[in-house]
Amino acid sequence: MKIRFWLAMFVALNIFLFGPVSGNAAETESPLEKCMSDTLDTWREGRYEQLFEQLAHRGKTSRETFVKKMRESTIRPACCWQKMENFKILNEKRTEATVYVKVGLEGTPGTTDSTTREFKMTHQEGVWRMQLADVLSIAGMTGKKGNAAKRY
């Protein structure tokens, strides 16, 4: 009986001092993965003005034009574990990176769909940013007929 008590105390003390055995997924998430996840969350929530500010290489696209295009699209990122799968950093430099990821989508014709591809990311003002063109492409709003993102 005393052995069980001391064993339980030992386990409890280790958990208290070192935390649970299973690590927190957020601790292993790279800054690139977190940025992309946060950007997709902003899009999913329909906060298009904020989304516009989170993106890089806005070029000639105004905030108003971007918001209008995004409101017209029925496509948005999926929720939870379907949002991003198999995230891989292919190339990372100081100010730019290329990642490869499967992005789950909702609102596409049929059932939940996805797009698996490379994304360019830019480091600006101390944060990583997805490209505006990538978001418009995924949303099916590239401005070119028949140029929607390739889906698998």
Residue 89: φ, ψ to 5°: -90, 115
> 102 with 132: CB under 8 angstroms?
no
Q: What is the CA radius of gyration of the chain?
A: 20
Whole-prediction pTM: 0.74
Q: What number of residues does the chain have?
A: 152
pLDDT in tens, 2-19: 777 666 666 666 666 665
To which H or E segment does residue 113 belong? strand 113-124
pLDDT in tens, 93-123: 999 999 999 999 998 776 658 999 999 999 9
pLDDT in tens, 60-92: 899 999 999 999 999 999 999 999 999 999 999
> 66 with 84: CB under 8 angstroms?
no
Alpha helices, H only, the chain: 2-18, 25-28, 31-44, 48-54, 63-72, 132-138
Query: What is the set of domains in the chain, with CATH numbers?
Result: 27-138 (3.10.450.100)
SS3 call for 114: strand
Taking phi first (over 0 means left), then psi (-120 to 50 degrees means alpha), and beta for anything else, what does residue 20 get?
A: beta
The pLDDT, as a whole number, for residue 16 is 66
SS3 call for 80: helix
**Other Cβ atoms within 10 Å of 125 Cβ, number:** 6
What's the rounded Cα separation, in Å, for the pair 48 and 66? Answer: 8
